[in-house]
Amino acid sequence: MKKILIVNADDCNLTRGVTEAILDCHDQGLLSSATFLINLPVEGWTLRQLQKRKTLGLGLHLNVTLGRPVSKFRNVKSLAGKKGYFRNVHDQLARPPAPDELAGEYQNQIDLFKRHFARAPTHLDTHHQVHNHPFFLRVLIKVARRNRLAVRRSGLMLQEAFTPARLRVRTTDFFFGNLSPQGCWKEPALQAVLSNLPEGVSEIMCHPGRNDPDLARISSFTAGREEEYRLFHSAEMKSRLERFSIRLSHFGLCYT
């Protein structure tokens, strides 16, 4: 077997600065894939820039914890508050929504992605990695199988009840990432993962971005994004892949 690595940036389209950082990390550094927040406003500039980068895999960052649903409010009342915005991640996990409403919103986000990009996403993952919760994982798998799409590996997949074979879903063999703002990638940790990468397909999740006022208004993860931007933008870091016999790829190349 070979060592195949997908380096995926979450939160593409969160802000202009985050999107620009992701594009730079793909053009100059390690980044091979990104996942897109389709429920947030989409600028023509963003679409043009992503469509120009034919080697960047682009998946869908399914989101039910930030902004507004793409579905009509009457169809997702268990997901959103009275003002029409999604309930926050802690509330969603504590009081999971109706499964049919969640599945419907996920499907509508997939359909909207297809309308914007004239193709299906390379894969699905979730904002705030909510599919580490059994309820959200089950709904994600149902939607992914219906659409014949690969998914990001969940921490639950180490359990017998949730193995990819049992769920009948395509995903990577290994996953490396940390959602904590204090746990952003630093060079020693990334170097350790690369030098010890197992054979098979692995994903590294990251969150590069520019720490600007737009980001500070909507996210608590700010300085860490800037640090990851510098790290994953590094051409020198990318050059280490050959030393470790690692082939860079994305979900669309591995699972279609």
pLDDT in tens, 214-236: 999 999 899 999 999 999 999 99
Q: What whole-number distance in Å separates Cα of residue 198 and Cα of residue 22?
A: 26
**How far apart, in Å, are the Cα atoms of 19 and each of 107, 162, 179, 192?**
24, 33, 18, 27
Number of domains in the chain: 1
- Higher-pLDDT residue of 178, 234: 234
> Strand 174-176 relative to strand 57-62: parallel, antiparallel, unpaired?
unpaired
pLDDT for position 256:
78
Q: What's the pLDDT band for 206 if we cut at 50, 70, 90?
A: very high
Q: In this predicted structure, what is the pLDDT of residue 181?
A: 62
Total Cβ atoms within 10 A of residue 5 = 23
* pTM greater than the 0.85 cutoff: yes
As a whole number of angstroms, the distance between CA 181 and CA 48 comes to 30
Helix or strand run (H / E) with residue 125: strand 123-126
Q: What is the pLDDT of residues 101-157, one digit of tens each?
A: 999 999 999 999 999 999 999 999 999 999 999 999 999 999 999 999 999 999 999
CATH number, position 14: 3.20.20.370
Q: How far apart are CA 48 and CA 62, in angstroms?
A: 21
- Dihedral sign, CA of 194, 163, 151, 182? negative
Confidence class of residue 183 from pLDDT cuts 50, 70 and 90?
Answer: confident
Q: The domain containing residue 126 runs over which residues?
A: 3-254
Residue position matching structure tokens 């640090």: 227
pLDDT tens string 2-12? 999 999 999 99
